[in-house]
Structure 1
Amino acid sequence: MKTDTTPHVLITGGAGYIGSLLTGVFLQQGWSVTVVDDLLFGGASLLGYWHHPQFRFAKGDVCDPAVLRASAEGIAVGDLPPAHFDAVVHLAAIVGFPACQMVGPQVAWRYNFEGTKRVFAAADAARVGRLIFASTYSNYGLSPDGTPVTEESPLNPQSLYAETKVAAEQFLRDQTAGATTIPVLFRFATLFGISPRTRFDLIINQFVLEAITRRKLIIYQRGYARSFVHVRDVCDAILLGLMAPPATINRQIFNVGSDEGNYTKDEIVALVQRYVTGTIVEYKDLTFGGDMRDIRVSFAKIREQLGFRPRISVEEGIREVAGVLLNGVIKDALDSQYRNAQFIVQ
């Protein structure tokens, strides 16, 4: 029986782009945090929390049966003693279509689908209250008529990455009825902004980096529209998902972003040029078998049911990323640790 009243969260993939920022947000809110991560990109993003009395870390692959072991005492994570968790935030995954293509279908499905089932099973066996699952609006693919997609719109995944996420969503929605753990499914828009492990394979961060380091952007699919949300706002959405009444969020899907975050690539380029003067833009035609997205997204559901309203605009995020790079705060942003895979400006 848990006697400590401090809420405790388990974050899988907690050393990554979202998780490394989310860890600090939870600690600031008075939570205890246990992070499990295999440290594919290192663990420097967690050093600021290392000596926090409410932070624990275990190195490990969530697909390994020895890493998450549920029992009556809670969940044992790696070599850490069992603990009772109030929530699990499942971020661990092979993220993005380039990374999934690089590791291949077998590995991508193992991490993104089988890993999700394993994490949920451990949470449910340990009677964890709820699990936040990080999904993606890539699941929608291309919008045939330009109408903003909602959580009820048909899914048309265009990549291996999206296929694995769709399958994981279907498992959480269709095969968890009656479980103790309540799954909540968040389809994140394209993220941007600075975190302890900033990624530069995301379109806004990437455009700013390219403009500053090369003074040139080569743009493909120039008219395509996408939706964007700041990584800090995603952390706020996760907190809301953990505080909402169970009936509101049980096995529910929420698009995470705002209507103000819908932009075309041309509009993003214009904003980047405003903050990185002298940037030359070259447009090219290219067709490739990647994660093709040309959609606008409706975020009415998360706004109306969870009260989610992002605080950081795309323009503020561009200014933030530019400021960090121009001031040399991240000196090695071209290094592989800041990318999930070799990228192309899409």
Structure 2
Amino acid sequence: MSASKYFVITGGAGYIGSMVAASLLARGDRVLVIDTLDFGGDGLLSFLPFANFAWTKQDVTERAPLAELMHNADAVIHLAALVGFPACNRAGRERTWQVNVEGTQRVYETAAQAGVDRFIFASSYSNYGLAADGEMVTEQSPLQPQSSYAESKVAAEQFLLTQSSQTGPAVTCLRLATVFGVSPRTRFDLMVNQFAWQAHQGEKLVIYQENFRRAFVHVRDVARAMLLVADAPRSAVAGQIFNVGNEALNSSKQELVMLLQEQWPALRVELQDRSFGGDMRSLHVSFEKIRRELGFTTCIDLRQGLAELHQALTLGWITNPADDRHRNHPPLLV
């Protein structure tokens, strides 16, 4: 068994961060979570018995002794952000930039000051925006962000990739597909999870652009990808961008609805062929690079993830899914 490592996770109480923390603790690594706890800290409660777990309530945009917390860390996994175009639109462009761009700059510079070896950045495939019909987008495809959220992620990536060097932290940017599935802090404002919650409630789904394609990835597979990057040789990941997902999970909303109806046969759906504005993505995404270079492939498909969500909602695994702590923003038009 390899020696344990020390990881700092910003946004570690969140949907993805809590799953990453759980995965690291399960294999014996030391974990420090930095989070504002804007959505509570329930996702961290099960970690308290671990002697190798610690957390601190802190905003990465504020002046605080972050360098002391990162001292001797092997890697920083930077997840703290305003996530999604509704949350960013509500916060405004200035606050979005302060958190997603300036906050990222500050965390990276602090990690460099502390001598951290790896810096793993959670980015988004929304950076690609729109693509020609049938065109497969890769890490080399043009970036056409369609929202302030995507613009902020592109700007943060650009900063990080110009900073990565032989002496500073090795930067890896992970452009995540739309995440779904159950985690210690499950969100119900992401497309698959939101659809599942509405189906469970007996609500009618009103679907816009049913033929628009999205890429999806389970939250546990995201955690696996982040650990894989952290463990890979530095030369394999330094200055690299990887799409995280699987082509088999590139699905239209109409295809997703069919899978939902396997779990909720009484689901009612209304299709409307009009725009709702916002982050207009319709993409076929390639995940060949991360598969070829790191050997990563996903383990959980949409059917399995929806079955898990159905079980979680039916058996009451998640206390009060309607609570705001399970959303980063109000429910989306979909």
Please give the range of the TM-score, normalised by the shorter of the 2 chains.
over 0.9
State how far apart, in whole Å, the 1-side matches of 2:203 and 2:109 are. Answer: 49
Amino acid at match of 2:332: I
For 1:63 and 1:40, the matched residues in 2 are separated by 14
Aligned to 1:240: 228
Tell me whether 1:20 sits opposite 2:10 in the alignment: no
Query: Could you tell me which amino acid in structure 2 is paired with residue 231 of structure 1?
Result: V
Q: After superposition, where does 1:48-197 map in structure 2 within 5 Å?
A: 48-68=46-66, 70=67, 76-77=68-69, 83-197=71-185
Q: 2:212 aligned to 195, 208, 224, which one?
A: 224
Which of 313, 329, 343 is equivalent to 2:317? 329
Q: Given the alignment, which residue of 21, 29, 32 partners 1:31?
A: 29
Matched to 1:258, the amino acid is N
- The 1:180–1:174 alpha-carbon spacing in structure 2 relative to 1, beyond 3 Å, is closer
Q: Which moved more, 1:298-307 or 1:205-214?
A: 205-214
1:274 aligns with 2:262: yes
Letter in 2 for 1:57: W
Q: Secondary structure at the match of 1:173?
A: helix
Q: Is the CA contact 1:208–1:272 (under 8 Å) kept in the aligned structure 2?
A: yes
Query: Match for residue 345 of structure 1?
Result: 333
The structural deviation recorded for 1:207 is: 0.7
Query: Which has the higher mean CA deviation after the structures are superposed, 172-181 or 125-134?
Result: 172-181
Matching residue of 1:300: 288
Partner in structure 1 of residue 41 of structure 2: 43
Question: Post-superposition shift, 1:287?
Answer: 2.0
Whether the 8 Å CA contact 2:208–2:276 is kept in 1: the answer is no
**How far is 1:289 from its partner?**
3.0
C-alpha separation between the residues in 1 aligned to 2:274 and 2:157?
Answer: 31
Q: Is the 8 A contact 1:18 1:231 kept in 2?
A: yes
| CA apart distance, 1:295 | 0.2
Deviation at 1:34?
Answer: 0.4
- The residue type paired with residue 46 of structure 2 is G
Distance in 2 between residues matched to 1:115 and 1:289, nearest whole Å: 27
How many positions carry a matched residue from both structures? 332
* 1:254 aligned residue: 242
Alignment partner, residue 73 of structure 1: none
Q: Deviations over 1:106-139 (max 9, x none)?
A: 1110110001100100111111111100000000
Query: In structure 1, what is the Cα distance between the partners aligned to 2:319 and 2:76?
Result: 34
Q: Which residue of 1 aligns with 2:7?
A: 9
Aligned mate of 1:212, from 187, 200, 218: 200
1 CA distance for matches of 2:46 and 2:163?
Answer: 39
Aligned-partner SS, 2:174: strand
SS in 2 for 1:232: helix
5+ residue gaps, structure 1, are 71-75
* Kept after mapping to 2: 8 A contact 1:158/1:292: yes
Going from structure 1 to structure 2, the CA distance change for 1:34 and 1:262 (only over 3 Å counts) comes to: same
CA contact (8 A) 1:207 1:345 kept: no
**CA distance, structure 2, for counterparts of residue 328 and residue 345 of structure 1:** 25
Query: In structure 2, do the counterparts of structure 1 residues 52 and 302 end up closer, same or farther at CA, with 3 Å as the change threshold?
Result: same
Q: 2:138, 2:286 within 8 Å by CA — same for their partners in 1?
A: yes
Question: Residue 187 of structure 1 aligns to a residue in which SS?
Answer: strand
Residues 61 and 67, structure 1, Cα contact 8 Å, conserved in 2: no
1:284 has 2:272 as partner: yes
Residue 314 (str. 1) matches residue 312 (str. 2): no
Pairwise CA distance, 1:67: 4.4
Distance in 2 between residues matched to 1:220 and 1:104, nearest whole Å? 25
Between the two proteins, what is the percent identity of the paired residues? 48
Deviation at 1:52, TM superposition (A): 1.1
Q: CA deviation at 1:44?
A: 1.0
Question: TM-score when scaled to structure 2?
Answer: 0.97
Find the aligned partners of 1:175 and 1:34 in 2 and give their Cα distance: 24
What is the TM-score normalised by the length of structure 1? 0.93
Say what the alpha-carbon RMSD is for the aligned residues.
1.2
How big is each residue's C-alpha offset from its partner over 1:144-171, in whole Å with a ceiling of 9 and x where there is no partner? 2321100000000000000000000011
Q: Which amino acid aligns with 1:53?
A: A
Between the aligned partners of 1:120 and 1:262, the Cα distance in structure 2 is 32
Q: Distance in 2 between matches of 1:331 and 1:13?
A: 21
- CA 338–263 in structure 1, closer or farther in 2 if over 3 Å, else same: same
